[in-house]
Amino acid sequence: MKKLRKTVFVIAGYNTVSFGSGRKEFHPKKPRPGLEHYVKEAGKGAIGQVNDVKNIDEGVIGNFMAARFNRQGNLPGFFPMIDESFLYKPATRVEGACASGGLALVFSIKTILADLADTVLSIGVEVQNTVKSIYGADILGGAGHYAGERKQGHAYFFPSKFSDRAGACFEKFGKDKVREAMSLWYVQAIKNARKNPKAQEYHNSIEDLYAAAMTPPNPKVFCEYINVYDCSKVSDGASALIFASEEGLKKLGVSKKDACEVVSFGQSEGDLTSPPPDLTKLDTSQRAVNLAYERAGLSSKDIGVAEVHDCFTISGLLSVEAAGFAEYGEGAEFVKAGKTNPDSEIPTNATGGLVGFGHYTGGTGVRQAVDLLHQLTGKAEDCQVKIDPNRPYGLMISMGGNDKTVAAMILKKAA
Enumerate residues 6+ apart whose C-beta is below 8 A from 278.
none
- The smaller minimum CB distance to another protein, of residues 16 and 130, is found at 130
For another protein, the closer CB: 207 or 343: 207
Interface stretch with another protein, choices 171-179, 217-225, 298-306, 361-369 (CB under 8 A): 217-225
Report which DSSP code applies to 201: T
Interaction between residue 71 and another protein (CB under 8 A): no
Under the binding rule (CB under 8 A), the answer on residue 219 touching another protein is: yes
Handedness of CA 272, 273, 276, 277 (dihedral sign): negative
Is the CB of 138 or the CB of 180 nearer to another protein? 138
The one among 23, 154, 287, 309 contacting another protein by CB under 8 A: 154
- Nearer to another protein by C-beta: 135 or 210? 135
Among 36, 138, 294, 330, binds another protein (CB under 8 A): 138
Q: Min. distance of Cβ 246 from another protein in angstroms?
A: 49
Shortest distance (Å) from residue 39 CB to another protein: 27
Q: Which is nearer to another protein, 25 or 207 (CB)?
A: 207
* Binding segment toward another protein, per CB under 8 A, in 98-106, 150-158, 167-175, 369-377: 150-158
Residues in contact with 181: Cβ distance below 8 Å, sequence separation at least 6, in sequence order = 317, 331, 332, 333, 335, 336
Neighbours of 229 (CB within 10 A): 21
Q: Site for another protein (CB under 8 A): how many residues? A: 16
Positive/negative CA dihedral, 339, 344, 345, 346: positive
Strands 9-15 and 260-269: antiparallel
State the pairing for strand pair 91-94/9-15: unpaired
Measuring CA to CA, how many Å separate 29 from each of 21, 130, 136? 11, 10, 16
Q: Walk across the sheet containing 405-413 and list its strands.
A: 91-94, 58-62, 119-127, 236-244, 9-15, 260-269, 405-413, 393-400, 303-307
- 175/211 Cα distance (integer angstroms): 17
Summarize the chain as % helix, strand, coil (round to 5). 40, 15, 40
C-alpha to C-alpha distances, 324 to 33, 303, 348, 369, 397, nearest whole angstrom: 40, 10, 13, 19, 12
151 touching another protein, by CB under 8 A: yes
Q: Does 145 bind another protein (CB under 8 A)?
A: no
How far apart are alpha carbons 356 and 233 in whole angstroms? 8
Interface stretch with another protein, choices 213-221, 233-241, 266-274, 403-411 (CB under 8 A): 213-221
Strands (DSSP E) found in 89-147: 91-94, 119-127
Q: Round to whole Å and give the CA distance between 203 and 185.
A: 18
* Smallest distance, another protein to C-beta of residue 68, A: 10
Query: Considering the rule CB under 8 A, would residue 77 count as an interface residue with another protein?
Result: no
Contact 49, 254 (CB under 8 A): yes
Comparing CB distances to another protein, the nearer of 156 and 202 is 156
Q: Which of 141, 167, 362, 394 binds another protein (CB under 8 A)?
A: 141
Residue 339: burial class (beta carbons within 10 Å; 0-12, 13-18, 19+) = middle
What is the closest distance, in whole angstroms, from the C-beta atom of residue 156 to another protein in the complex?
A: 8
Q: Is 250 in the site for another protein (CB under 8 A)?
A: no
Whichever of 21 and 92 has its CB closer to another protein, that residue is 21
Residue 221 in the binding site for another protein (CB under 8 A): yes
Q: Tell me: does residue 27 bind another protein (CB under 8 A).
A: no
Interaction of residue 210 with another protein, rule CB under 8 A: no
Asked if 308 and 316 count as a contact pair (C-beta separation under 8 A), the reply is yes
Among 146, 172, 210, 338, binds another protein (CB under 8 A): 146
Applying CB under 8 A, does 148 fall inside the site for another protein? no
Which region among 73-81, 133-141, 193-201, 233-241 touches another protein (by CB under 8 A)? 133-141
Measured from the CB of residue 204, what is the shortest distance to another protein in angstroms?
Answer: 14
What is the contact surface with another protein in residues (CB under 8 A)? 132, 134-135, 137-138, 141, 146, 150-151, 154-156, 219-222
